[in-house]
């Protein structure tokens, strides 16, 4: 077997989301596998290979995370196809296979093959001898368990032969079929048995494993709702993540310095730590000091401090202040160095000067925006908190929500002192809406009534899991969120950016802070960031054109009048006048699962006494 066939490249951003720990993914050999938990992310000596993320104490405190953040290990391929560096283990799942011609099931046909990754077995039951395919079904419970489907038990559940026909993995006697009523069934082909039973959404009493890579079996008392599901069903795996921006003062300390280079050389430091012979250790320390342009004493001190990073006492570590702190940082003009991880340029004065030189509706349109800020550089930290499976994909619980599903932590047990995270670099544009007209607008009775309908639906729906940092569905939030989507779509049309590469960050008022901001940005897992297209679009004249296009496209949808008159669309009916033709964006771009959108708050609706934004400004704004 080729050495590289044992490895499958996975994007760092995917490892912190839908291809994360516990997720089913397809490897380079077209086989389904499940990624193991972080306890297995170690080298041969049991040392963690995930590098430590520096200068993230504010984000940890705001998200109430009391563990270190580490990036997934990254391996490199040499010219001789040898792989160097830490890798993340995964296990083959499901181990049941099916013949595409005769539909006979085989259990673990690779058990006699050599190598760490199984080869390609053929069917031995039919003359065509085709390659076997993994079954596309698994057993899932609301408690987060994932296991093989108990095909024999399902097949014989109601059969008179269930006691006499025994489970035998050495024989291939089970077959997938379709019944006369169209239901998918499993059949027993043993002589004098012929039991059969439907299996889709089949409730189960027993699961074989807590997770496919662990030998433990769930306690019977804990299984409340296990059933058979397709491996690509969204309910099989839902990652729970959160993110934050690195802002001053932490963003000013992540430059190319010896300290930071040492913080990112965790794997090399651990290799030196593992060397028992002092002469060899000294040689490795000297070589690493030359490579990182630091002293040998710096190397020795880094090995002492490596697993005990200290919080910066200058940083205000206040839980729950993630978005307000970012909002204030984006609004605060500072002198930045190009090497910093947070660099902004304020264009508000230029925006106001431009507004003073235009008339009519263009001037009113520009009055929507109070602040315009170019974000030349940003660093975002995305954190993988855990995952859930089952109904709704599950929701994280608190002590007061015992009835909701427990989130599975990245190490399964919750005992590890670190969790996975990645850093993304990019650029963006930040705007705030003018408070003078916004405060009047959001108190309009018709607007409050329309927003309250969506708020009540969100409180009563089981189709959308709890969303991070969303305290209330208010008119202000719905306006900001819809506006952000329209800007993303306009950037895609005029700036050449694919919408999937853009992200939104909504800053809306909460119980303690008044906010009305939108950050549209792009971020990638590379220190180079992006190519400057958003920065160019954030210049006042270019942004005015962008704003005009977004407002224009809010007025009409190709699916109108149906879209505008809809009582509800999307999961839980949490959208009103918003569909794929006008306001929805790719799932990766939206922080709120593509819900809480309504163009009516921008274009207006005379029948409901909801004014359009420009009409409202014309009547109520005196700026």
Q: What is the pLDDT of residues 390-405, one digit of tens each?
A: 875 444 444 434 445 6
pTM for the full predicted model: 0.84
Q: Give yes or no for residue 496 having a pLDDT over 50.
A: yes
What is the token pair recorded at 144?
């987060």
Find, among 482, 368, 387, the residue nearest to 433 by Cα: 368
Give the lowest-confidence range in 121-135, 235-249, 384-398. Answer: 384-398
Report pLDDT for 308.
Answer: 52
pLDDT, tens digit, 9 for 90 and up, residues 80-127: 667 777 889 999 999 999 999 999 999 988 876 544 445 678 888 888
- φ and ψ at 221, to 5 degrees? -65, -20
- The DSSP-derived string for 311-335 is PPTTS---TT-HHHHHHHHHHS---
The more confidently predicted of residues 293 and 373 is 373
Q: Give yes or no for residue 275 having a pLDDT over 60.
A: yes
- CA separation, residue 92 to residues 27, 139, 412 (Å): 10, 15, 19
Helix (H, G, I), strand (E, B) or coil at 231: coil
Average model confidence (pLDDT) for the chain? 86
CA distance 29 to 267: 29
Q: What is the 3-state secondary structure (H, E, C) of 236-296?
A: HCEEEEEEEECCCCHHHHCCCCHHHHHHCCHHHHHHHHCCCCHHHHHHHHHHHHHHHCCCH
Helix (H, G, I), strand (E, B) or coil at 607: helix
């Amino acid at each position: 077997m080729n050495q590289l066939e044992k490895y499958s490249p996975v994007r760092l951003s995917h490892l912190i989301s839908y291809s994360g720990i516990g997720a089913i993914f397809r490897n380079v050999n077209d086989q389904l596998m499940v990624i193991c938990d972080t306890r297995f992310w170690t080298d041969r000596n049991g040392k963690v290979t995930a590098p430590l993320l520096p200068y993230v104490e504010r984000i940890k405190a705001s998200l109430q995370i009391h563990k270190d953040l580490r990036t997934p290990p990254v391996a490199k391929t040499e010219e001789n196809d040898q792989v160097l560096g830490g890798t993340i283990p995964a296990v083959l799942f499901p181990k049941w296979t099916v013949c595409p011609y005769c539909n006979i099931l085989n259990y673990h046909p690779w058990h006699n093959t050599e190598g760490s990754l199984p080869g390609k077995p053929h069917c031995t039951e039919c003359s065509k001898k085709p390659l076997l395919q993994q079954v596309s079904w698994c057993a899932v419970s609301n408690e987060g368990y994932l296991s093989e489907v108990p095909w024999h038990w399902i097949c014989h559940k109601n059969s008179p032969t269930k006691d006499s026909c025994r489970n035998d993995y050495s024989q291939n006697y089970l077959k997938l079929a379709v019944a006369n009523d169209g239901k998918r069934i499993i059949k027993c082909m043993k002589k004098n048995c012929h039991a059969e039973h439907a299996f889709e959404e089949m409730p189960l009493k027993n699961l074989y494993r807590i997770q496919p890579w662990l030998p433990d079996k769930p306690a019977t008392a804990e299984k409340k709702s296990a059933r058979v599901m397709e491996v690509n069903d969204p309910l099989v795996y839902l990652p729970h993540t959160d993110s934050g921006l690195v802002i001053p003062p932490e963003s000013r300390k992540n430059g190319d310095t010896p300290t930071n280079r040492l913080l990112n050389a965790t794997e090399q430091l651990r290799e030196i730590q593992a060397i028992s012979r002092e002469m060899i250790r000294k040689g490795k320390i000297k070589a690493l000091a030359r490579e990182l342009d630091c002293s040998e004493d710096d190397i020795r001190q880094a090995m002492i401090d490596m697993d005990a990073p200290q919080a910066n006492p200058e940083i205000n570590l206040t839980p729950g202040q993630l978005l307000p702190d970012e909002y204030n940082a984006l609004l605060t003009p500072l002198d930045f160095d190009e090497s910093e991880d947070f660099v902004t340029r304020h264009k508000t004065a230029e925006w106001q000067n431009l507004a003073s030189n235009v008339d009519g509706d263009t001037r009113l349109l520009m009055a929507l925006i109070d602040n315009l800020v170019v974000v030349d550089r940003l660093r975002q930290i995305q954190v993988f908190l855990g995952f859930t499976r089952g109904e709704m994909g599950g929701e994280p619980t608190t002590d007061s929500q015992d009835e909701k599903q427990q989130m599975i932590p990245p190490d399964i047990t919750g005992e590890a002192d670190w969790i996975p995270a990645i850093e993304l670099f990019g650029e963006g544009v930040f705007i705030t809406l003018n408070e003078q007209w916004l405060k009047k607008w959001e108190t309009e009775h018709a607007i409050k009534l329309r927003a309250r309908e969506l708020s009540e639906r969100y409180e009563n729906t089981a189709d959308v899991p709890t969303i991070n940092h969303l305290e209330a569905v208010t008119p202000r939030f719905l306006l900001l969120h819809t506006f952000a989507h329209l800007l993303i779509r306009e950037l895609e049309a005029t700036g050449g950016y694919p919408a999937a590469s853009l992200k939104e960050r909504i800053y809306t008022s909460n119980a303690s802070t008044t906010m009305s901001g939108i950050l549209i940005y792009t971020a990638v897992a590379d220190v180079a960031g992006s190519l400057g297209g958003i920065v160019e679009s954030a210049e006042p004249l270019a942004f005015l054109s962008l704003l005009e296009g977004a407002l224009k496209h809010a007025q009409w949808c190709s699916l109108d009048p149906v879209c505008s008159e809809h009582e509800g669309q999307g999961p839980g009916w949490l959208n009103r006048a918003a569909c794929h033709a006008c306001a929805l964006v790719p799932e990766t771009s939206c922080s709120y699962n593509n819900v809480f959108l309504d163009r009516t708050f921008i274009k207006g609706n005379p029948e409901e006494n909801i004014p359009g934004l420009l009409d409202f400004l014309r009547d109520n704004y005196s700026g």
